[in-house]
Structures are given as C-alpha cells and as structure tokens.
Amino acid sequence: MVRVKTWLLKRWFLIALAAVLVVGFSGAELFASLADAPLLRRGIVAVVLFVMALPLGLNAVWRAIRYPGPSLLAAGINFGLLPVVAWGLYLAVMVPIGLNDQLAVGILIAAATPSTLASAAVWTRRAGGDDTVPVLVTLITNLSCFVVTPLWLVTMTGEQVGAVQLGPMVIKLLCLIVLPMSAAQLCRLRVPVRDWAADHKSVLGVVAQCGVLAMILVGSVRAGLSIRQAETAAASAGIWDYGVMIGLVLTIHLSMLAVGHLVGVWLGMARGARIAVGFAGSQKTLLVGLTVAVEDYGVLALAVLPMVAYHVGQLLVDTLIADRLRAATLEASH
C-alpha cells in the first residue's frame, strides 16, 4: 500500500493528464461551453502565472544572472533556433508532403511560444541539474513573448492568416503574461507574503499544475469539437496527419534538448548547467500556446492540437530522460 501511495504521489500529474485528455476528447460536446469562454481561459492563464511567479525569489534570479551563459544559451535555443527549425520543417517537410494546413500552422504556434518554468525547473532538478537556469530562461522568454511570439507568428504564418494582427496580439500577451508575473513580484515586497510563498512553495506548485490541467482540458475539448465538427476537406485530417504531427513535435523537442546539451559540452559547461539548458531550451508553455491558438488562430480549428501534443509529449518523454540522467549522475558520484 505504501509503495502504491508513493507511486501515485510521483505520477499523479501524468495520471491526471491522461484522465483530462480522455474526458476532454470524449466529452467535448458536454463541455463545449469551456471552449467558448475566453474570460475563463484568460483568467486561468493569469492565475497560474501569478501563482508560479509568487514563490520566485530574486535570489535565484541573481544567481543565474551572475553566470548568464547557460540561461542565454537556453533562451536563444528556445526563442531562436527552435522556431527556425520548425519553420524549416514546415517549408521542407510539411508543405511538400501535404500535411494538413491547420496542424502545420499549429506546430509553428507551438514553436513560437516561450519556455515553461514549472516543468523545466522540476525536470531539471529531477535530473540533477541547475534549476536556477530555467528561472532566468522563463523570465527572458515570458517577459519578451508579447513581442517575440507575435513577430515570429506574423513572419511564419502572416500570408496564410491575414486576420492575425500584430498590435492586438502584443497588447493581449502583455496583459496576460507580463502583468500577472509583475504583480506577483510586487506582492513579494511584503515580507509576510514572501515568507508565506516560501513556506507553501510545493502547494503553489500543485495549484499551478492544476491550472495547467485545466488549460489542457479546455484545449482538448476544443480540439475534440474541431475534429468532430470539421465540415470541409480543408478542416479534416486523417490518422496519417495526426501521426506525422506528433512525430514532428517530438522531433523538434528532442532535437533541441540534444542541441542544448551538446552545445553545453562544446562550451565546457558543467553537467548541471548542460542538463538545465537542454530542458529549458526545448520545453514550451501550454498556457501561452493555447491562448494564441484559440484566440488568434481560432479560424484554424485544429491548430490547438500540436500545442497539446507538444506539451504532453515533453512531459512524458522528459520524465524518462530526467530519470535516466539522474541515474547516470548518481552512478558517476559513486
């Protein structure tokens, strides 16, 4: 019984993730109102980012700033190399093989979103890496995403989706991403709030993960409705399209994880820093990706699927990679 309880505590998020995906896709019509509630989606995003930023002490940020090389490398991979690779695959693979247009654009949306703090830090720590690096990477990418993400998307998809406007997207991301994180840091100026956040860091982490699950539910419901209600050939996709899409998002994620680690080796970084660069440079946040896919590319019904697939894939695959890296680190220390 104790072993079962321990296993459940370690895997509760993955179990809940599987349950949410099943409920979202199978009960899409039952929860259809969730897919058409922008205030609910935005509220979840704002609350989760506030909760994630509340225990984020400036000490960790300053430690990363003192040695910024790994963080800058990871941010460059996440917001520079990764979108370039995705765009290259779009032009060289997705278009020539005839991948469903909506899924292809969805992959570009996933590539243009910022890094995620919760899973990047947790998996880095789990693998024995330096978890201060994801903190700075998150700040760099999330606080700049209100400019960088729209620019990438307009550049990569502007000709296909003329309804996407740079100005409104910038303002929306500024309000949804920067303001909640800034508000959390202002709250931390009060000592009681800062102490409470430090004492309840694990609880806040669980709350943030529950918020992520809520966003996955919204995304899977919308994706389920999109698949069922697709009325035109352009909106429909076959099993082959979905399989290729999943393969491409996993390829992008794993290749960037490997690049981060290998470049770190080439630059002579410590093992802990290399591990952090790999995870922080390759992971993407579901919160921003789903918001952009649903609200700015809502005309492309299936565009939410690659973001969900990317996030779920990184959680599943990186769990195995982190455990393997941790085992290797423990073996090397003995």
Secondary structure of 118-157 in HEC code, one letter for each residue: HHHHHHHHHCCCCCHHHHHHHHHHHHHHHHHHHHHHHHHH
Residue 294 sits in which domain range?
32-324
Give me the CATH number covering residue 181. 1.20.1530.20
Say how far apart CA 334 and CA 59 lie, in whole Å.
Answer: 31
Q: 278 near 151, Cβ under 8 Å?
A: no
State how far the Cα of 55 lies from the Cα of 201, in Å rounded to an integer: 6
Q: Is residue 8 part of a domain?
A: no
20 domain residue, yes or no: no
Could you tell me if residue 19 is inside a domain?
no
- The confidence score (pLDDT) of residue 235 equals 53
DSSP for 56-92, written as a single string: --HHHHHHHHHS-HHHHHHHHIIIIIHHHHHHHHIII
Instruction: Give the number of C-alpha atoms closer than 13 A to the C-alpha of residue 188, restricted to the C-beta side.
Output: 19
243 within a domain of the structure (yes/no)? yes
227 part of a folded domain: yes
DSSP result, 210-245: HHHHHHHHHHHHHHHHHHHH--STTT---HHHHHHH
Instruction: Look at residue 10 in the predicted model and tell me its pLDDT.
Output: 67
Q: Between the CA of residue 283 and those of 187, 206, 254, 275, what are the distances in Å?
A: 28, 19, 9, 12
Query: How many domains is the chain partitioned into structurally?
Result: 1
| Per-residue pLDDT at 230 | 56
Is residue 181 situated within a structural domain?
yes
Residue 14 in domain? no
Flag whether the pTM goes above 0.95.
no
Element (H, E) at 22: helix 2-26
- Joined tokens for residue 52: 């994630």
Nearest to 107 by CA among 302, 319, 318: 302
SS3 114: coil
**What residues have CB less than 8 Å from 44, skipping those under 6 apart?**
211, 214, 215, 218, 287
Q: Tens place of pLDDT for every residue, the chain, 334 residues?
A: 666 666 666 677 778 878 888 888 787 777 777 767 777 777 877 887 788 778 777 666 677 677 888 999 999 999 999 999 999 999 999 999 999 888 999 999 999 998 886 677 777 877 888 877 887 887 788 778 878 888 898 889 875 554 455 566 667 667 766 788 788 888 888 888 888 888 887 788 778 778 878 877 877 787 777 766 654 444 567 889 989 999 999 999 999 999 999 999 999 998 889 999 999 999 998 778 877 887 778 777 788 889 888 988 888 898 888 888 887 766 666 5
Q: How far apart are the first and last CA of the chain?
A: 31
Classify residue 69: in a domain, yes or no. yes
CA distance 272 to 260: 12
Classify residue 300 by its DSSP letter.
Answer: S
Q: Report CA-CA distances (Å) from 172 to 21, 149, 236.
A: 27, 12, 30
Cα–Cα distance, 274 to 77 (Å, whole number)? 13
Q: How far is CA 221 from CA 14, 36, 218, 234, in A?
A: 18, 10, 5, 20
**Euclidean distance between CA atoms 220 and 256, whole angstroms:** 26
